[in-house]
Structure 1
Amino acid sequence: MASKRQSDKATAAALRPQIIDMRRQGFSIRQIAQHIGKSVGWVHKQETLALDELASETLTETEKYRALQLARYEDMFLRLQTKVKSGDGKAIETARRILDSINRLTGAEAPAKVAPTTPDGKQQYDPASMTPEERRARIAELMGKVGK
């Protein structure tokens, strides 16, 4: 029984690239199932597994690329240090740009969440909770500031 199960797994693994290729060409799951002689459910499951594998491989490759880029930036930054320490303006600007790139790559420059507040900055501003009169007054106040 184990031999049959292993054979089925090998068949499924061998057919996954063909299933993905046919999907890229625009074939429906039903058409693929008819073409390879399997059920629609089986083909759908194999497509899902193939796409999950592809997503995992893509994520792994992206992480490898990110690590490579980070190593490159760090190497460039270290090579500039002598010039930076001597006050070379061009080297300082280049080092700053490298650090910006490192920060973006590592997520260190993640944007801060900003919540709207009332004009005095003391309370959270939620226009949906305003009465129609408060909303009109606020619009009038803002329009007055724009016109000045």
Structure 2
Amino acid sequence: MRLEGHTIRLIASHLNCGLATVKRDLDQMLETYGETTDAMTIQYKRVQSARIEELVKGLWAKGKAGQVGAVDRLVKLFERQAKLLGLDQPAKVAPTNPDGTLPYEMTDAELDAEIKRLLSGDT
């Protein structure tokens, strides 16, 4: 019923039980679902990583021999594996002025104007 958008109060009324019971049962269900999803994600990553390793084994000798296509494919496989395993860190971006010499900060007047623009609904 919750997945259909019903409130906890309506579910409790329909099942003739207390709000605390419904909330506890929903929390338990969501925790179990989260654990199951986490376990499935870990398993998927392991399987995909093993598949990539098998492909790397098949291409390694060709790549070491200098075959450009094999080298290119190996690089793509390594990039995919790094993404899959979360090895790539997001790029850090620090906003600066147009010539890159100073950190960018809005003046008070610019900030006030931007707040007014956002509150007015203009985009």
Q: TM-score range by the shorter chain?
A: 0.7 to 0.9
Query: How many residues are treated as equivalent by the alignment?
Result: 110
Unaligned runs of at least 5 residues, structure 1: 1-21, 133-148
- Structural mapping, 1:36-47, within 5 Å: 36-47=15-26
The question of 1:74 aligning with 2:53 is answered yes
C-alpha distance in 2 between matches for 1:100 and 1:124: 32
2:13 alignment counterpart: 34
Of residues 56, 63, 69, the one that matches 1:90 is 69
Question: Residues 125 and 28 of structure 1: is their aligned pair in 2 closer, same or farther, counting only changes over 3 Å?
Answer: closer
TM-score by length of 2: 0.75
C-alpha distance in 2 between matches for 1:24 and 1:130: 46
C-alpha distance in 1 between matches for 2:61 and 2:91: 34
Q: Which amino acid aligns with 1:45?
A: R
Question: Residues 131 and 30 of structure 1: is their aligned pair in 2 closer, same or farther, counting only changes over 3 Å?
Answer: closer
Of residues 22, 36, 43, the one that matches 1:57 is 36
* RMSD, aligned α-carbons: 2.1
1:70-91 CA-to-partner distances (Å, cap 9, x unmatched) read 1111221122111111112221
1:95-127 CA-to-partner distances (Å, cap 9, x unmatched) read 11101101211222222111012344332111x
1:24 alignment counterpart: 3
Residue identity (%) = 32
Unaligned runs of at least 5 residues, structure 2: 111-123
Task: Quote how far apart the aligned CAs of 1:58 are.
Answer: 0.6
Q: Which amino acid aligns with 2:23?
A: H
Q: Which structure would you say has the larger Rg?
A: 1
Question: Residues 27 and 129 of structure 1: is their aligned pair in 2 closer, same or farther, counting only changes over 3 Å?
Answer: closer
Question: Residues 130 and 29 of structure 1: is their aligned pair in 2 closer, same or farther, counting only changes over 3 Å?
Answer: closer
Question: Residues 27 and 91 of structure 1: is their aligned pair in 2 closer, same or farther, counting only changes over 3 Å?
Answer: same
2:107 alignment counterpart: 129
